Structures are given as structure tokens and as C-alpha cells.
Structure 1
């Protein structure tokens, strides 16, 4: 579903834009309900996020989106305040009919072409999770009107944790593993499968942490 080039491009963009000390240190708050080998069932708390819609080829689009959002958190907001980076960076593919909704985590999502968009060109939603210290009332507002702020509601997710680079084969293998686990447990997915990356592109493959997530009915 996602190529290694896409994942590396996204994370290189963050690495180049952010100083080392600002790299992701906070993760979405959650409680681990169960661990079974590489699988976990987790309960996530609501998460504030910032999102932008961009268009173009996949790697170009994610660069555009990341640069817009990185510009926002590095001070291009109403109070010129820097906002800490968080982890992970996630990407999710949704049905083409899906419109922007502020109920997705840090994501890149394809959206139906339109609004003067060139034929064959893809639109994407790219988003960052905001640090938990902020609320809708205290988060600095972006100067860029393309950026939307919203809340991902608390939800239960099943995850599979794996290392290695984000090659299509590696991602495909573990996506299938997660789908099988969900099926065997009799769980009901209530949202899209999303892939999460926790490391910069220079981390060695055996030290990398990647995850597939899917929200399920409690």
C-alpha cells in the first residue's frame, strides 16, 4: 500500500525541518489492554490534531503537507509559538469518497479529485497529532487557512508492531497479519487501517519501530 520512498520522504522532511531536540518524544496517550506476541489491543484517549489537504503525486503531496504543517508548529501561528513534535507519523488510505473530517490521527489520506484539480491528480490529507498539553482553546491558531484543527475521539485500536524498513513487502505482510488477528478475535473494524512510523530515516532497520493500527468496536 505504501512504499518505502513515501515513508522516507515524509520523515526526511521532518528531520530537515526540525532540530534534533524537537524530534518526536510524545506519543498518543493510551492504555494497553492486551499483548499477544507482536499484537496489542489498546484504548486511546482523544487526541488533538492539525490537518491539511494537498494534491499531487504521493511523495510530492506528503512533502507539501508536511512542510505546511511543520511551518505551523515551528512558529507560523497567531502567537509565533513553537509546538513540539510528536510520534508517530501515520498514513492511512480511505475510500475515495471520504471528505476532510477532523476525526483522523496524524495521517495522509487520498481524497476524491475535484475543485479544479487536474485529471488523474490525487488529493491527500496529511496531519500531525498535537502535544497533549494543548486543548482546542489553548492551541495556537495557524496563520495558514488551509490547516484545520480538530479532535480524534478516544477509541480502541488493535496494533501489530514490527521492525525493518517500510517496504511494500514488509508493510503488506504485517497488514495481512493484523487483518488475520482481527478476524480470529472476532473484532469489528470501525475505521481504516493506518500505518505508523516512529523513527527518522537514518535508524537501522532492526532498531526501527513500525506499526499497523485499526480502530475496532469495544
Structure 2
């Protein structure tokens, strides 16, 4: 299956057959602990991520990373098992895990990006079938507190930087300590009207 076919099929799943392309995909559950305008502090439970790392800029790496992960959930695995698409799709600078203790520190390595799909609720590392593509890996994420700023429009690298700066300033004023690099979270397929799109920048906090 070609990259464009995978992108189209995944977009259809994300769209939920909506003409406007608004997503109806399952999302990981969370509790809102604090809210101010477009900013929220959320508590998430544990989850499993399927992820892949691609060299290149934000936009250049997106298509290749998306195709790898979409291939996995469409059956490119040892069991030929297919999964329902979930939201959001996460993208962040590739990072080096420096410690197994909290906080987990992250720093950018060169010009690489990691994209992640959230596996369906209840998934475990043991239950997920092995990917046929060795560049697709899994990571188990424990319960965590996440600061989120929401916006509409394009999920570009410039928007990631701009809204990350706004969120970082707000966190500093409120006394929150950041534990991760900012990451982009996208909820809608590419053809969704820009002003209807739901995008987020997320930062893990202490």
C-alpha cells in the first residue's frame, strides 16, 4: 500500500465520514484540573504509544512518519490485526531519554522528529502485535499531568513554536515546572476547514 493510500485511508477514519472532516476518533481519557481561556492543565492516565522517528524538518518528516504508523494500524503487523484510529496524532522533536527517574528530561537531537499514535485504551506492550516495520516501536507512558494550549488553523512548525512560547510563559507565571519539550497534537484530517481544526501544543508538567 502506497503512502498516499495510507494517508487517505487514515484521513477517512479520522474524519468519521463527516463532510467537513471533523474527527470522531476515540481519545485517551483525561480530567481537567485547571482551565484559563484556551489553556488547560489535564491529568491523563497511562497509555501506550506506537511511534517512529524520521530525519528532516517538521513538515518534511510528517508524511513518512504518518505512513509508517498508519501501515501498522491497518494490518502491517505479525497478526495482520487492524486497529481503530485514535486521536490525537502527536509530533515532537526526537529526544534522548537521560534518566529512568522523574523528571524525564528531553533534548532535541539534530533535525529529527518523532510521531506517535495513541494505541486504543486497554492496550499493553504484551498485547500489541509485533510491527513488520522495525522503525515502528512502542512506548508505555505512565499517568502524568499535561499543560495544553488549544488553537485552530494549521498545525505547522511555526504554530508549534508560537503557541509553545505562549504556554511556556503562562506556566512560568503560574509556577509550573516543565518536564518535556513541547509537542504538537493534531485531531483532524488534512481537508478539514482550517478554522474548524482542533490542534494543541502539549507540555508535561510537574
Contact 1:99/1:111 (CA < 8 Å) preserved in 2? no
CA distance in 1, matches of 2:128, 2:193: 35
CA distance in 2, matches of 1:56, 1:65: 11
Q: How does 1:4-153 map to 2 (within 5 A)?
A: 15-18=7-10, 20-21=12-13, 25-56=25-56, 58-93=58-93, 98=96, 111-112=109-110, 122-153=111-142
- Tell me which residue corresponds to 1:3: none
Which consecutive unaligned segments of at least 5 residues does structure 2 have? Answer: 16-22, 100-106
Q: Deviations over 1:89-134 (max 9, x none)?
A: 1221256xx2699xxxxxxx9644xxxxxxxxx4433321111132
What's the RMSD between the two structures over aligned residues?
Answer: 2.9
Q: TM-score when scaled to structure 1?
A: 0.75
- Tell me which residue corresponds to 1:207: 196
Q: TM-score when scaled to structure 2?
A: 0.79
CA distance in 1, matches of 2:8, 2:204: 32
* Offset of residue 157 of structure 1: 0.7
- Alignment size in residue pairs: 190
Question: Residues 137 and 167 from structure 1, CA distance in 2 versus in 1: closer, same or farther, beyond 3 angstroms?
Answer: closer
> 2:159 matched to 1:159?
no
> 2:167 matched to 1:178?
yes
Question: Residues 73 and 110 from structure 1, CA distance in 2 versus in 1: closer, same or farther, beyond 3 angstroms?
Answer: farther
CA distance in 1, matches of 2:53, 2:98: 8
CA distance in 2, matches of 1:145, 1:100: 23
Question: Residues 154 and 14 from structure 1, CA distance in 2 versus in 1: closer, same or farther, beyond 3 angstroms?
Answer: farther
Q: SS of the residue aligned with 1:75? A: coil
Contact 1:50/1:149 (CA < 8 Å) preserved in 2? yes
Question: Residues 186 and 91 from structure 1, CA distance in 2 versus in 1: closer, same or farther, beyond 3 angstroms?
Answer: same
- Tell me which residue corresponds to 2:103: none
Question: Residues 204 and 41 from structure 1, CA distance in 2 versus in 1: closer, same or farther, beyond 3 angstroms?
Answer: same
* Offset of residue 172 of structure 1: 3.7
Contact 1:100/1:125 (CA < 8 Å) preserved in 2? no
